[in-house]
Amino acid sequence: MKIDIVTLFPAMLAGPLGESILGRAQAKGLVEIRVADLREWAEGRHRVTDDYPFGGGGGMVLKPEPLFRCVEALRRPGARVILLDPQGRAFGQEVAAELARAEHLILLCGRYEGVDERVREHLVDDEISIGDYVLTGGELPALVVTDAVVRLLPGALGDEAAPGKDSFGRGLLEGPHYTRPEEFRAWRVPEVLLSGDHARVARWRRAQSLWRTWRRRPDLLETAELTPEEQKLIEEFRQGKKPDA
């Protein structure tokens, strides 16, 4: 997989892209991540990439020429060009899985008041937002999308089954985790996790995942694919019964 991130501020991306799972995935050859400085495709002595909006108003708008030149230079057959923008469709685990199937992503980091509308209409294939709030630019959203996508690539994680166990992997929140010591400040690890009974542990984890989702994100249960046993547990929660500790 190849990911190109187009930005006016390449230094914002260098550190995170070289660390942890992203760094290891690149070292393994699973993904090639490149950062393109938009100014390299701007013309003139000052490499201007933005200008005042027609019709007046505050702020600056990214010009179309540098963005078109940059994308046309980077784009390969089958590439998906994505604008990171608060007006885009909401980013979630399903979208991450969709993008992880692409061979080439080009992520455009918006800035200032946004991009010339002709970029939206004639250059990008998709627009993505990571939440209903406004950031100073698209660099942080680009890192979020890249991280979420790369960790889904085969071989990126030590445990190949891990993505399916994560929160939202099955449409549910993940349950609690514990590690050593068994007792900390009089708070003990649940006995079931020390029992060695794998079937019992699996049932406990499933119940805890459902309980946490029901309490914190009940909206997720509306679309989650639940087994009859899980549906029964949800009904017990509604009747006031808690899962075993």
- 17-36 confidence digits (pLDDT tens): 999 999 999 999 999 999 99
The residues spanned by each domain of the chain are 2-150, 167-238
Instruction: Give the pLDDT of residue 111.
Output: 92
**What proportion of the chain, given as a percentage, has pLDDT over 90?**
90
- 170-193 confidence digits (pLDDT tens): 789 999 999 999 999 999 999 999
Of 109, 112, 76, nearest to 1 by C-alpha is 76
Instruction: Give the pLDDT of residue 158.
Output: 74
The whole-model pTM stands at 0.87
Indicate the average pLDDT of the chain: 94
Instruction: Give the pLDDT of residue 171.
Output: 86
How is domain 167-238 classified at the CATH fold level?
Trp Operon Repressor; Chain A (1.10.1270)
Is the pLDDT at 197 greater than 80? The verdict is yes
What the block records as the tokens of 137 is: 């630019």
Of 181, 79, 156, nearest to 123 by C-alpha is 79
* Backbone phi, psi, residue 169, to 5°: -60, -40
**Distance between start and end Cα atoms, the chain:** 43
**Catalytic (active-site) positions:** 86, 113, 151, 166
Give the CB-side neighbour count of residue 138, counting CA atoms within 13 A. 30
The larger pLDDT score, comparing residue 158 to residue 109, is at 109
CATH of 2-150, one of 3.30.450.20, 3.40.1280.10, 3.40.50.300, 3.40.640.10: 3.40.1280.10
Distance CA 33, CA 77 (A): 17
Q: What is the three-state SS of 122-189?
A: HCCCEEEECCCCCCCECHHHHHHHHHHHHCCCCCCCCCCCHHHHCCCCCCCCCCCCCCCCCEECCEEC
Instruction: Give the pLDDT of residue 168.
Output: 66
DSSP annotation of 46 = T
Confidence of residue 164 (pLDDT cuts 50, 70, 90): low
Confidence of residue 43 (pLDDT cuts 50, 70, 90): very high
Residue 33 pairs in a beta bridge with 3
